[in-house]
Structure 1
C-alpha cells in the first residue's frame, strides 16, 4: 500500500483523503457526487491551488484508478430510479492512509484537518 500511495498522483491522494473523511463519518460506500462535494469543501486546506478546481469527471477517474490499485473497494448501489451506480469505500485502513500521506507536500494540510476533526 505504501508504494501505491506514494506513486499516486496528488489529485488521487486528495480524492482518497475525501473518501477517508466520508468513511470516518460512516458515509461510505459513497458515490462520486459525495466524494466530489467532500473534496471541494477541502480545497482551501491545500497550501496552494494545486488542481485548479475539482471536476466530477476527474473525481470519477481518480476513484476508478484508486479502486484498480486496490485502495478503494467498489460497490454497486441502486438509485431511486433503479439504475445501478458505483459507490466506493476504503479497502485499506484510514489511519494508515493518514500516516502515509502526512508528509505528502500537496495534501498534508488536508491530513492535518482530518486528524484535528477526528
Structure 2
C-alpha cells in the first residue's frame, strides 16, 4: 500500500510514518517496480501497537525491541515480561498520582462551592 493509504488507516501523518521508518521501527519497507515504498498491511496493526505503547510511556528503543521480536517471533519471553512489568508499575504509579490530584481538586472544589454558598447568603 502507498503511504497515503497507511496514513488513512492509522491516522498517523506522513512525516511521523517516515520518522518511524528512519528510526527502524517499521522494519524493512520493500519498494515497488517504480521505486515507491510498498507498505505491507501488517504495518497498520504494528503502528497502532507502537502508538499505544508510546502513550503508555515506552521509549522508542523499547518499542523497537518489542516490534523486532514480534516480527522475528524471537522475543525473549522473560525479558519481555520484565519490560512489561516495569511499564505496568510505572502506569500504576501514574494512576496513584492522578488519584491524589483528583482528591485534592475535589476538596478544593467543595471548599470553593461552600464559600460561594456562604457568600450568596449575605
**What is the TM-score when the length of structure 1 is the normalising length?**
0.31
Bigger fraction of residues in strand: 1
Question: Which structure: larger Rg?
Answer: 2
Q: Which has more helix, going by share of residues?
A: 2
Which has the bigger relative contact order, CA under 8 A and spacing at least 6?
Answer: 1
- TM-score, scaled relative to structure 2: 0.31
